[in-house]
């Protein structure tokens, strides 16, 4: 059983524990499971490399990483993130390095070996997620403030970062493949319109910035250096109107009650075109509608006339 991995003898860990979400995902993905089976040795190696004393990992944790509080040789509080390298998580370190602690956690060091990517990060104290700290309408203001700070001009030729078009093309292709197999699915006309927009919008952006792409209230933590800091970014370069989508998708009640109003509110807070934000939200609701059927009604409400 993955929960009963061997005890570690050094690195400051008394017994090796796994985040529950990582355990569940490893059971479903044999490649991830094989990586998880070697985590005790991997974490031990990284802890020794950086002279860290580790506590147990955060629960329930992420789906592809082992993340735990740590202290370095000087007693400074840190966080160690040991992740399974996969396409979705590419360039997290490069994004954090580009932001340099401005609105996001500071990156102290990195180490890459095979399928493993380790990050030594600033620890947020108290570390309470934004979602547990204030009502959603107040969260909107924090999200908008952070996005304004994160949206910086991309490096020449985008540096290491992929264009948003790459992600949208991949997700659209995956949607179209799953759509043909689904027993229940969104109206074919809406599906076609949604994926056409999903491919078109990245190409028609009037402005391109460094994007976080996965910013929501659980990835924003209360801190001391700044009131709120972003964790776990998935950087791309592209249309800033895309970057508010995940926050809106996590606001289930308001999204269901008035999706157009929520899109306009976030657009106003960010100085974006409300119609473009609504188009992005429509396309993304279509894209997510196979695994989240409740979004079909949202997509219908947002569908272009």
Among residues 156, 135, 158, 127, the alpha carbon closest in space to that of 221 is found at 127
Locus of tokens 């109107």: 241
Q: In whole angstroms, what is the distance from residue 77 CA to residue 75 CA? A: 6
Which element (helix H / strand E) includes 124? none
Q: In whole angstroms, how far apart are CA 197 and each of 227, 250, 272, 292, 304? A: 36, 21, 18, 19, 10
Which element (helix H / strand E) includes 261? helix 259-270
Task: For residue 214, indicate whether it is catalytic.
Answer: yes
Active-site annotation holder among 183, 187, 214, 232: 214
Q: In whole angstroms, what is the distance from residue 178 CA to residue 291 CA? A: 10
236-238/220-222 β-pairing: unpaired
Query: Which residues contact residue 211 at a Cβ distance below 8 angstroms, ignoring those fewer than 6 apart?
Result: 150, 151, 164, 235, 236, 237, 238, 239, 240, 242, 243
Q: In whole angstroms, what is the distance from residue 223 CA to residue 228 CA? A: 6
- What residues act catalytically? 214
């Amino acid at each position: 059983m993955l929960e009963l991995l061997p005890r570690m003898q050094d690195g400051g860990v008394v017994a090796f524990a796994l985040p529950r979400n990582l355990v569940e995902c490893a059971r479903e993905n044999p490649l991830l499971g094989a990586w998880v089976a070697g985590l005790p040795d991997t974490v031990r190696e990284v802890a020794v490399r950086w002279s860290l004393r580790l506590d147990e990992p955060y629960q329930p944790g992420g789906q592809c990483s082992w993340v735990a509080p740590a202290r370095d040789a000087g007693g400074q509080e840190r966080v160690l993130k040991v992740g399974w390298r996969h396409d979705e998580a590419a360039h997290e370190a490069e994004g954090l390095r580009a932001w340099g602690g401005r609105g996001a956690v500071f990156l102290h060091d990195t180490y890459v070996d095979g399928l493993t990517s380790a990050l030594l990060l600033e620890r947020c104290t108290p570390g309470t997620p934004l979602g547990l700290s204030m009502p959603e309408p107040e969260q909107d203001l924090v999200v908008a403030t952070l996005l304004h700070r994160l949206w910086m001009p991309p490096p020449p030729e985008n540096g290491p970062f992929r264009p948003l078009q790459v992600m949208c093309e991949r997700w659209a292709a995956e949607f179209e493949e799953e759509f043909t197999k689904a027993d229940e699915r969104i109206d074919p006309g809406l599906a076609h319109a949604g994926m056409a927009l999903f491919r078109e919008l990245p190409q028609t952006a009037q402005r391109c910035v460094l994007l976080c792409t996965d910013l929501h209230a659980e990835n924003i933590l209360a801190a001391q250096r700044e009131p709120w800091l972003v964790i776990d970014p998935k950087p791309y370069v592209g249309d800033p109107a895309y970057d508010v989508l995940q926050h809106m998708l996590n606001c289930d009640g308001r999204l269901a009650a008035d999706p157009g109003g929520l899109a306009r509110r976030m657009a106003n807070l960010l100085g974006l075109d409300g119609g473009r934000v609504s188009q992005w939200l429509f396309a993304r609701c279509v894209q997510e509608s196979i695994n989240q059927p409740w979004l079909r009604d949202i997509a219908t409400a947002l569908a272009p006339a």
